[in-house]
Each structure stands twice: as structure tokens, then as C-alpha cells.
Amino acid sequence: MLIFKIFRRSEWNDLIAAGESAGAPVDIADGYIHFSTAAQVAGTAAKHFARESDLVLVAVEADRLGVDLKWEASRGGALFPHLYRPLRHADVVWDKSLPLGASGHIFPEGHLFPGSRA
């Protein structure tokens, strides 16, 4: 199953340059990297990145993360994937720009994302 992380372009560029990342400032503060499922990621974008346009959507295969990935209750009691180690560039299956349209973020490959406008 693919899980998703939204990075600001500068954070993504830093990950590429370093080969890994502890995540965004909120991830570092919380002690884990926040991910979302396909069903959750549009809500994450709307809640935490509503007015941000230069974003990168990163897909990671959950099974490859092993015991460092924990599913924990978060927004509304839903289980969200949290990674308790740095995200390595080698973990990434694909990355795509996540532009901001007039009525929200435009997700790629719309069939993967319920409610997306792609």
C-alpha cells in the first residue's frame, strides 16, 4: 500500500541533497514523520497546506518501512501512518508536483485519491 507525504519544495530539495530527511519542522517537533493514506491526503493538504502552492507529493510503499512505521490515532481518531526514523530518498516510489488550483490542490492520477480533481 502506498502512503503519502507532502513536502514543501525546499524540504524536498533538502531531502534529495542529503539523501534523507527527518521531515518538516512539525515532524521534527513530534518525533516522527507524518504520512497519510490516499483517502487522508487531500484532507491533510487542505488542513495544513491550504494556501501553499509549491508542494511535492511523495509516495512510499508502507510495507518497505518495516517496524519503523506505526499506525496511530490522529485527526478524528483515524489511524495515520507515522515513520519513526528519517525518510530516505531510496524509500520513495515516486514524487510529483502538487499544484494549488482555484478550489484546492490538484492531485495526480485522480483514481488513487478519493475526491481529487485530477
Domains of the chain: which residue ranges?
2-102
Over pLDDT 70: what percentage of the chain? 92
Q: For residue range 73-95, list pLDDT tens digits in order.
A: 988 889 999 999 999 999 999 99
Q: For residue range 44-61, list pLDDT tens digits in order.
A: 999 999 999 999 999 999
- What is the band of 113 on the pLDDT scale with cuts at 50, 70, 90? low
CB atoms within 10 A of CB 106: 16
The class that CATH gives domain 2-102 is alpha beta
| Gap between the Cα atoms of 67 and 65, Å rounded | 7
